[in-house]
Amino acid sequence: MFQLAVLALAALGAHARTTSHYSGHAAANCTRASLKEATDRYVATQSTGQINYLKAVTDLDRVSYLENFNGTNIKTGVLSQALKIDHARSIYDTVTCASYTELIVTDPKHPYVIGTQIHFTGPNITKIESVVTDADDWLFSAKHTLHYALPENWETIPVEKRDSRATIQAAADAYLDLFNNKSVVVPWGYPCARLEGGLYTAKGLANDSCAVGVPSGVPLTRRRYVIDESIGTVDVLLAFGNTNNGLPDSHEFRVEGGKLRYVHTITACASPNCGMKVPAELSIDPGF
């Protein structure tokens, strides 16, 4: 929380020194530093509910803002609520000028797990799209999600060991394609840990596997990618299944040596737990 407070103060100070440079015209490129600065502003905004922290990097009246596929007023959506963020982790894509942020909020007043892609034109935010999950969404437990996410290693990968963008995306696509085509060969890594809502597949063993089964005949469509080769990670926002044009979903993958290492899934349901029975494991305190 101390880091988030610093971010909020930094955003406020920067806003006092900087006027909005949103022009609607594409810049030649974007940098990791500019993506990080703007994404830090997003996190500061979510932690304080102060939408004006984004003024320096977007036009609040023109930015495209979506929550669970729905166009939403950025000034009244979840981003306008001050949330006590327990965990924030971001990746940065300097090729497509985009970022992805995973947020976990365990506040018992209203816990959330949120996955947000931010898209830029140069240094300016032009689109913010979030999958916002809370009680009754797929396998939801913010406490379990935090408990399992914190010990994972999403650190920078040495340059000589990094996979290409194509390899990282292909590993993610293979996993996602498996839902609708059981003949797809997925590059499973060992160990591999899958965090699906609040359920975790790993036990800290060398043979931990993410190949624990997925549904059949389920298309995962409308895929939007954010890829960060420096940490071997891709996030994919997508429509899960055919029901009502698909459920809002985020699948984030870390790939090491061409193999899957971590999978994080966030899915917003149209009915409590997407009409499935809630596993008993989610009622057990994870050990805080």
Render 52-98 in DSSP notation, one character per residue: GGGTTTS-TTT-EEEETTEE--TTTSGGGS----SEEEEEEETTTTE
For position 288, what pLDDT does the model report?
A: 67
Of 122 and 23, the one with more pLDDT:
122
pLDDT tens for 193-217 read: 999 999 999 999 999 999 988 988 9
Of 112 and 244, the one with more pLDDT:
112
Q: Which bin fits 223, alpha (ψ -120 to 50), beta or left (φ > 0)?
A: beta
**pLDDT surpasses 80 at 265:** yes
Residue 88: pLDDT band (50, 70, 90) is very high
Q: What is the average pLDDT value for the chain, to the nearest integer?
A: 90
Q: Tell me whether the CATH fold assigned to 2-134 matches the one assigned to 159-283.
A: yes
Q: What percent of the chain has pLDDT over 90?
A: 83
Query: What DSSP element (H or E) covers 240?
Result: strand 233-240
In CATH terms, the fold of domain 159-283 is Nuclear Transport Factor 2; Chain: A, (3.10.450)
What value does the mean pLDDT take over residues 241-257? 92
**pLDDT surpasses 80 at 90:** yes
For position 27, what pLDDT does the model report?
A: 40
For position 285, what pLDDT does the model report?
A: 84
pLDDT tens for 47-67 read: 999 999 999 999 999 999 999
**pLDDT surpasses 50 at 78:** yes
Q: Where are the domains of the chain?
A: 2-134, 159-283
Beta carbons within 8 Å of 67's beta carbon, 6+ residues apart:
77, 78, 130, 132
**pLDDT surpasses 60 at 94:** yes
* CATH number for the segment(s) 2-134: 3.10.450.50
Answer for the pair 238, 253: CB distance below 8 angstroms, yes or no: no
What value does the mean pLDDT take over residues 83-106? 98
Q: What percent of the chain has pLDDT over 70?
A: 90
**pLDDT surpasses 90 at 8:** no
For position 12, what pLDDT does the model report?
A: 37
